[in-house]
């Protein structure tokens, strides 16, 4: 369970407050969606939770299963089960996707005091996961995200998610840059990973992704705060009326 309380964040470089008191609880096994207009602080929330440099937490906390993640290094958060599917997955030339995955899996296992996976076991594991996500074996051999299409990059994120088996998955605008077919494929991957012990926070600008990944709870974020919370119908309301009505209503 992820509990965010009164989270205030400003940019490190300039005196600009981005998050102005976010309160949010994602229960274990639930899928929450955050929607909101551009510049409302959605992506900042995902970066702050995962530990990216460049932000100052001025107040509040974010607790994952009893541990304050804001105190941890990014890799410690990862080992604690926090996973961020990037809006723009990063290219790493010369590093095979397989090597990257194996290094990541073993780094996390080691951090948790578990035995590292042998080369043979890992190979079996990764092939199995790739197959279930309909990912070509060829994609495993290519360097991380280099020359990948938009759809391939996002599916690669989902593959990483499947391999690392996190407790808390944050999807940052996973639908951006995808056509309908690619989005469906990615959504199928996410749905396959839904389970009782795993929570999701799906950040999106558009409702269309939520047609495929059905959320339990929808939040609307504006100007650094959660301004409205509701069921899946809230997403449909945004789709029909845009953000203006909701914002006017809560103002």
Partner 1 sequence: MSVLDTTEVKEGVDQETVDAVREVGGKYKYGWETEIEMDYAPKGVNPDIVRLISEKNEEPEWMTEWRLQAFARWEKMTEPEWAMVDYPKIDYQDVYYYASPKSMAEKPKSLDDVDPKLLETYKKLGIPLKEQMILAGVEGAEDAPAEGRKVAVDAVFDSVSVGTTFQAELKKAGVIFCSISEAIREHPELVKKYLGSVVPVTDNYFATLNSAVFSDGSFVYVPPGVRCPMELSTYFRINAENTGQFERTLIIADKGSYVSYLEGCTAPMRDTNQLHAAVVELVALEDAEIKYSTVQNWYPGDENGVGGIYNFVTKRADCRGDRSKVMWTQVETGSAVTWKYPSCILRGNESQGEFYSIAIANNMQQADTGTKMVHLGKNTKSRIVSKGISAGKAQNTYRGLVSMHPKAQNGRNYTQCDSLLIGDKCGAHTVPYIEVKNNSSRVEHEATTSKVDDDQLFYCRQRGMDEEEAVALVVNGFCKDVLQALPMEFAMEAQQLVAISLEGSVG
Which of 38, 90, 147, 233 binds partner 1 (CB under 8 A)? It is: 90
Based on CB atoms, which residue is closest to partner 1, 119 or 244? 119
Based on CB atoms, which residue is closest to partner 1, 170 or 226? 170
Based on CB atoms, which residue is closest to partner 1, 36 or 89? 89
Say whether residue 111 binds partner 1 (CB under 8 A): yes
Say whether residue 200 binds partner 1 (CB under 8 A): no
Based on CB atoms, which residue is closest to partner 1, 112 or 214? 112
Sole residue written with tokens 């929570």: 199
Say whether residue 72 binds partner 1 (CB under 8 A): no
How many residues line the site for partner 1 (CB under 8 A)?
Answer: 37
Say whether residue 53 binds partner 1 (CB under 8 A): yes
Say whether residue 62 binds partner 1 (CB under 8 A): no
Rg of the chain (C-alpha set): 18
Which of 93, 113, 147, 197 binds partner 1 (CB under 8 A)? It is: 93
Q: Which stretch binds partner 1 (CB under 8 A): 49-57, 192-200, 209-217, 233-241?
A: 49-57
Contact by Cβ (8 Å): 175, 183: yes
* Shortest distance, position 184 Cβ to partner 1, whole Å: 25
Say whether residue 51 binds partner 1 (CB under 8 A): yes
Based on CB atoms, which residue is closest to partner 1, 94 or 248? 94
Say whether residue 135 binds partner 1 (CB under 8 A): no
Based on CB atoms, which residue is closest to partner 1, 91 or 128? 91
* Shortest distance, position 107 Cβ to partner 1, whole Å: 4
Contact by Cβ (8 Å): 31, 57: no
CA atoms of 54 and 41, how far apart (whole Å):
14
Per DSSP, the residues of the chain read -EEEEEEEEEESSS--EEEEEEEEEE-TT-EEEEE--TTSSHHHHHHHHHT-TTEEEEEEEEEETTEEGGGS-HHHHHHTTEEEE-SSPPPEEEEEHHHHHHHHHHHHHHHTTPPPPPHHHHHHHHHHHHHHTT--HHHHHSEETTT--HHHHHHHHHHHHHHH--SEEEEESTTTT--HHHHHHHHHHHHHH--TT-EEEEEESSSHHHHHS--SEEEEEETTEEEEEE-THHHHHHHHHHHHHHHHHH-
Say whether residue 11 binds partner 1 (CB under 8 A): no
Contact by Cβ (8 Å): 62, 4: yes
Say whether residue 99 binds partner 1 (CB under 8 A): yes
Interacting residues with partner 1 (CB under 8 A): 50-53, 73-75, 77-79, 83-84, 86, 89-96, 98-100, 102-108, 111, 116, 119, 143, 160, 164
């Amino acid at each position: 369970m992820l509990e965010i309380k009164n989270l205030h964040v400003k940019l490190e470089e300039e005196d600009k407050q981005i998050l102005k008191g976010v309160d949010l609880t994602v229960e274990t096994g639930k899928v929450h969606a955050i929607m909101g207009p551009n510049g409302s602080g959605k992506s900042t929330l995902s970066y702050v939770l995962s530990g990216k440099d460049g932000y100052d937490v001025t107040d509040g906390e974010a607790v994952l299963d009893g541990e304050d993640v804001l105190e941890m290094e990014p890799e410690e958060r990862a080992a604690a089960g926090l996973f961020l599917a990037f809006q723009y997955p990063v290219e790493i030339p010369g590093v095979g996707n397989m090597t990257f995955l194996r290094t990541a899996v073993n780094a996390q296992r080691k951090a948790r005091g578990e035995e590292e996976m042998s080369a043979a076991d890992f190979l079996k594991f990764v092939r199995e996961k790739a197959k279930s996500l309909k990912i070509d074996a060829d994609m495993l051999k290519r360097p991380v995200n280099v020359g990948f299409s938009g759809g391939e990059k996002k599916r690669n994120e989902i593959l990483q998610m499947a391999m690392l088996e996190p407790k808390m998955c944050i999807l940052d605008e996973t639908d951006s840059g995808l056509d309908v077919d690619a989005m469906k494929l990615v959504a199928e991957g996410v749905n396959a990973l839904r389970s009782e012990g795993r929570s999701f926070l799906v950040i999106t600008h558009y409702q269309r992704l939520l047609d495929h990944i059905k959320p339990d709870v929808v939040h609307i974020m504006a100007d650094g705060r959660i301004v409205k919370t509701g069921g899946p119908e809230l997403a449909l309301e945004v789709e029909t009326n845009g953000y203006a009505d909701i914002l006017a209503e809560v103002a």
